[in-house]
Structure 1
Amino acid sequence: MSAGPACLVDGVVKRKRRAVFGTFLICQDCYLKGAPDPVTGRTRSQAARQTDGAWWLDLTGRGEVLAPEPCLACGIVVVRRAERLLRGVTCSRACRTSLTRRRNGGRGSGRPCGSCGRPVMSGRADSAYCDAACRQKAYRRRVADRAAEASVDRATDPVAELLTALEPYVVRLDGGVSQALYKALYLVYAAHLHGDPAAALAELASMNADRVKIPDTDDGRRLRAALRAISSPA
């Protein structure tokens, strides 16, 4: 980055094998090369707004361009647009988090931790957990609760499980099932959209769930299990 202020822009950053949309800093020289033409207002070509690792759209924010101001967390001089809800200029998500903690004095929220129940006495003013360990425990508990609820729903309502299991083949059209099975699944899905999926289950129930053509994948095994539950209900 060249000497002088940095420009905070919205754009896409290439990270390994994927592109991620977000905000990042570029030098002012690069921004001025790709900035809209000051006379015509037209946007420059993408080639003028692109590097090997990223391409950007415009300055972050929705208002007028602010004068260069130092980031309140790290001190780097930043150029960005005004924002109605902007409390102060920061240059990254990490600096926003650091600023929030500094304003709160690292005293935490004082609310009960969502995992252990003890008051949160450190971290940000909106902290919901004592630390990373409590946050992870709460996440694992939520995952386990969702899995338990899903298993109960599937056990009590095989039709609901079938409607979930058929989505990869009827909605996403992943393929791999036989034409006869696809037609039967589609009829059930269409009947579900009209409010009565049970009316179209007869053909599926007559099929041999162990012999019908289904891919040997996680989605395929789930569909086969759902067909077994339909053809021979408990």
Structure 2
Amino acid sequence: MPDVATAKKKPSRIQLRNRKRILDAALEVFSQHGYRGATLDQIAEQAGLSKPNILYYFGGKEDIHVTLLNKLMDSWLDPLDHLDPDGSPLEEILAYVRRKVEMTREFPRESRLFANEILQGAPRMGPHLESGLKPLFDEKCALIRNWMDDGRLAQSDPRHLIFSIWATTQHYADFDAQVGVLMAGETGVVDGAADFLEKMYRKLLTP
């Protein structure tokens, strides 16, 4: 029989709801103000909770930020992880581009959170870049290189190919204010971006 005194108590529905409420509020605050500009008071106000209530669930601002970044890395790496070695190389790359564009539409705040962390030198995410992103990045670059060497994709540097996909897709979230001004309030901007990028990468990568 398990030791009841040491057994980890399952969080209640209210506790789970409040944690999600805090994380949603923190995501909004961090994406707007960055880590340095964000405060616990701002997060508490955004969440509609007291500051002591925030500190009941998290150890402080850094704890909240790291929790968000850990959750973000899982979803951010998933499309790259799903490049299928047995699939059609060109269609696999184009599907990756489309998914990254779609994530710009679905998760603009998460994209800005990630960008802000990287611009600051990744002080809280550095270990995850080494342990999570780097091995996956190397694996997928090797896969793309094999496709190119087999003549199934046009030759280019797989590393810069992936960098360019990140840059061109995440631009629409990270520079949303600029895009909004320059596109003068047009609708369907993200759809137009997806069509343009698919044509560009298809032309670049077709053998």
- TM-score band (shorter)? under 0.3
Looking at CA atoms only, which structure, 1 or 2, has the larger radius of gyration?
Answer: 1
Q: Which has the higher contact order (CA 8 A, sep 6+)?
A: 2
* TM-score, scaled relative to structure 2: 0.20
Structure with the larger helix share: 2
